[in-house]
Amino acid sequence: MTRSTAPRFDDLELGAIVAKSDLNVTRADLVRYAGASGDFNPIHFDDAVAAGEGLPGVLCQGMLTAALGLQAVVDWAGDPTSVISYEARFTRPVVVDPLDGADLSISAKVARLDDVERVARVDITVSAAGRTVLGKTQARIRFSS
């Protein structure tokens, strides 16, 4: 969801939750992402290959999981060019059920404010099945004067 009014730096508060999103990732989403990214590793679409690799099932691409986390912040900020950096560590795989997909829960909160640079660090939590799947996930957002 895109905001009609961009947030203002001066209105931000440390610890404030600025974005929340719950979404379902399906096998079709994995196929579309594979086509867009060129990541055709069969563990992202073939149950037999995933099982043969000792995985619990077909896995969502890590970069797709990270991108979905960032998208919630971009939707809040209202301007993708305001993101000046983004980092995420992959800590747990997201297993995508062939029928039910995988439910992701995304939450973003203001963790640091730099009044001089007018930059907010937003910490992002992405979880699936009640467990965090990305670690140290942070976006830095620059606000105009």
Domains of the chain by residue range: 9-25+61-142
Contact 58, 50 (CB under 8 A): yes
Q: What gap in Å lies between CA 40 and CA 34, rounded to an integer?
A: 5
A 10 A CB-CB count for 27 gives 18
DSSP SS3 for 105: strand
pLDDT tens by residue, 39-56: 999 999 999 999 999 999
pLDDT tens by residue, 82-104: 999 999 999 999 999 999 999 99
- Domain 9-25+61-142 = CATH 2.60.40.10: no
Instruction: Please give the helix or strand (H or E) that residue 28 lies within, else none.
Output: helix 27-37
Mean pLDDT by 10 residues, the chain (145 residues): 75 98 98 96 97 97 97 97 97 97 98 98 97 97 91
